[in-house]
Amino acid sequence: MSAGSQDRDWSLSVAAAEQGVRVEIGLPDVAGQPFTAILTLDRDEARMLARALLAASGDAIERTFSSPPGA
């Protein structure tokens, strides 16, 4: 599975690995050079990362949209 779109300046790629998951995060410019971070996670680590990302995104949404429209 891959994520990202034409208007983003980063990429995310996730693939099954022998003992878990391989996550690649690509950034086009770190200190003037392209950079790719590769995380090879076992199943427990992948679940922990997924939970942390889900919690962080939920927190960000709550801060961004703190009250319903028209309230």
pLDDT at residue 4 tops 60: no
pLDDT of residue 67: 72
CA 60/CA 71 separation, integer angstroms: 19
Mean pLDDT across the chain:
85
Give residue-wise pLDDT tens across range 39-66: 999 999 999 999 999 999 888 887 788 7
Helical spans, DSSP H, in the chain:
43-64
Residue 26 class from Cβ within 10 Å (0-12 exposed, 13-18 middle, 19+ buried)? Answer: middle
pLDDT at residue 38 tops 80: yes
pLDDT band at residue 71 under the 50/70/90 scheme: low
pLDDT of residue 11: 94
Closest to 43 in 3D by CA, of 14, 19, 25: 19
